[in-house]
Structure 1
Amino acid sequence: TAAREAVRSGRLGRLHTVRAMTSDPAPPPAAYLPLSGGLYRDCLVHDFDILRWVTGREVTEVYATGSDAGPAMFREAGDVDTAAAVLTLDDGALVTATATRCNGAGYDVRMELSGERDTVVVGLDDRTPFASTEPKGPSAATKPWPGFLERFAPAYEAELVAFVDVVRGERENPCDGREALHALRIAEACELSRRERRLVRMEEIPGG
């Protein structure tokens, strides 16, 4: 929410670069992979969703790639364990979105938004699982986030409160099914780009 306000208020100036990442500490069970929809639909779809909400912009085209060089179960499922995508927004801003199932340091979800005036980072705290190589940089987190349930507990609570408010008729639905569809279309474009090794424009994906 703070990042959205920074973008919408003009604090960052013209937004030119966004970097989004989601890194799981360990792969899911092998039986889950064929049912997951793949790394873009199962994992990065959340980054695509929040990207639209924070920036207020739409994705116009994507180029995505992935690697299945990790555990054999990803190759067997036709999936990848690590993925990267470059997205172009409708105002020309560029977005990189990366994900991996094999981040042994811990669960890591972050977004950086850089504009002509300032840069903000979402998801950076004393439990972010990384260490600086600089002499005076931060050391490794002593208690890195183990997974999404712990990392997003306050967000889940806020979602439940919002859901109850909507059911009671006390507020409008802040996130209807159309928002989920837009995020899924971006994930579908990324999967198509990865498989066909080409740039995909969003008008190629039905449902727009």
Structure 2
Amino acid sequence: MRIGLVGLGRIGAFHAETLSGLPAVDTLVITDAREGVGDEVAARLRAGHPQARVEVVRPEELLAAGLDGLVVATATNGHAEWIRRGIEGGVATFCEKPVAGSLTETIELARLESESETPVHIGHQRRFDVGFRRVREAVASGELGFVHTIRANTHDQAPPPAEFIPTSGGIFRDCGVHDFDAIRFVTGREIASVYAVGANKGADFFTEGGDVDTGAAVLTLDDDTLVLMSTTRYNGGGHDVRMEVMGERGTITAGLDHSLAMTSAELDVDFPRGPQRWSFMERFLPAYRAELTAFFEVAAGRAPSPCTIADALEAFRTAEACELSRAQRRPVALTEIEGL
């Protein structure tokens, strides 16, 4: 397949590396708005993957390059424009979350998607993680009986650069949104209401940017399942993403292995033995490969999108509700947040 990739920052360069190593990619066509970046990335890819065919084009040339699929990894403020271009050009499109920087634009794109036959796949990679898929199976099969409580967390080992925070959308839109999507994916239920709080004990730039470095929320699903969710930028022991699903017949956990970023206080316990993981890219590398491989099936017309803009919109609406709840210090029903 001939795959185009726009945006060669941290996540874009990471995707370029992944795509170069996938057998389904015959040619990778890359571009970035910054002068010379495409050539630098192409040189690294050719050195690391001698078999890879890599072409560098200007952004305005990308969609005319005979693509079978488009991967969008620009900064957030470029996502909506490139999704629109992909849909209007009839090119199957994969885009990193979020769909757009605002709820209004996300809704607009979801409507555009619904009126088009061009598929769009949004990159919520936990849908392709082995552990999360096993938890989904346990819930769907009735293995756990009825589910009453879920604990979900996204804990980064270290905070992002200060300049990222003012454009991140806030901790619930940037980090928590992955948990919100995973909750819907695992349970097959919708989130009905939220109550969220946040606090700062770390760097001043979080407060200055109107954000928090640690957030927590209680979510109620539409079947009265309770979800306890937490997220932080400061988890010095390592990157920690987990979901515990508790039911009448048992409990199952995704992310519980020897890389777990915590230490037992009990005597004679050697779990976890490590080594820890230090970033989301390390934690979810197999899932990133799996989601891009799934996108090739979507682009070839052999499978529907496994995470549509409409799916991403529901996670984004929950993040919006959490930010509103945090700001106004009250519970927020999802009916208060605009949707399709």
Give yes or no for the alignment of 1:119 onto 2:261: no
Q: TM-score, normalised by structure 1?
A: 0.98
Give yes or no for the alignment of 1:161 onto 2:293: yes
Q: Quote the Cα distance in structure 1 between the aligned partners of 2:192 and 2:204.
A: 34
**Worse-superposed segment, 182-191 or 161-170:** 161-170
Deviation at 1:69, TM superposition (A): 2.3
Per the alignment, residue 269 of structure 2 pairs with 137
Q: Quote the Cα distance in structure 2 between the aligned partners of 1:176 and 1:93.
A: 24
Structure 1, unpaired ranges of 5+: none
Conserved in 2, the CA contact under 8 Å of 1:131 and 1:141?
A: no
Q: Trace 1:18-97 onto structure 2 (pairs within 5 A).
A: 18-97=150-229
Amino acid at match of 1:57: R
- Find the residue that maps to 1:198 and give its secondary structure: coil
Conserved in 1, the CA contact under 8 Å of 2:258 and 2:271?
A: no
Q: Quote the Cα distance in structure 2 between the aligned partners of 1:141 and 1:22.
A: 21
Per the alignment, residue 17 of structure 1 pairs with 149
Q: Quote the Cα distance in structure 2 between the aligned partners of 1:170 and 1:8.
A: 24
Q: Quote the Cα distance in structure 2 between the aligned partners of 1:141 and 1:32.
A: 33
Deviation at 1:141, TM superposition (A): 4.2
Q: Quote the Cα distance in structure 1 between the aligned partners of 2:278 and 2:165.
A: 20
Deviation at 1:26, TM superposition (A): 0.6
Higher RCO (C-alpha under 8 Å, 6+ residues apart) = 1
Q: Quote the Cα distance in structure 2 between the aligned partners of 1:169 and 1:203.
A: 35
Q: Quote the Cα distance in structure 2 between the aligned partners of 1:112 and 1:160.
A: 26
Amino acid at match of 1:124: L
Amino acid at match of 1:64: A
- Find the residue that maps to 1:17 and give its secondary structure: strand
Deviation per residue, 1:51-100 (Å, 9 max, x gap): 00000011111000000222111010010000000000011110011000
- Alignment length (residue pairs): 208
Q: Quote the Cα distance in structure 2 between the aligned partners of 1:78 and 1:158.
A: 35
Deviation at 1:175, TM superposition (A): 1.3
Q: CA RMSD in A?
A: 1.0
Amino acid at match of 1:116: E
Conserved in 2, the CA contact under 8 Å of 1:65 and 1:85?
A: yes
Conserved in 1, the CA contact under 8 Å of 2:194 and 2:333?
A: yes
Deviation per residue, 1:167-195 (Å, 9 max, x gap): 11111112111000000000000000000
Q: Quote the Cα distance in structure 1 between the aligned partners of 2:274 and 2:325.
A: 39
Q: TM-score, normalised by structure 2?
A: 0.60
Structure 2, unpaired ranges of 5+: 1-132
Deviation at 1:135, TM superposition (A): 0.8
- Find the residue that maps to 1:86 and give its secondary structure: strand
Q: Quote the Cα distance in structure 2 between the aligned partners of 1:182 and 1:61.
A: 12
- Find the residue that maps to 2:312 and give its secondary structure: helix
Larger Rg: 2
- Find the residue that maps to 2:210 and give its secondary structure: coil
Conserved in 2, the CA contact under 8 Å of 1:16 and 1:93?
A: yes
Deviation per residue, 1:7-61 (Å, 9 max, x gap): 0100101100000001101110000000100100000100000100000011111
Per the alignment, residue 174 of structure 1 pairs with 306
Conserved in 2, the CA contact under 8 Å of 1:12 and 1:117?
A: yes
Deviation at 1:128, TM superposition (A): 1.1
Q: Quote the Cα distance in structure 2 between the aligned partners of 1:8 and 1:114.
A: 13
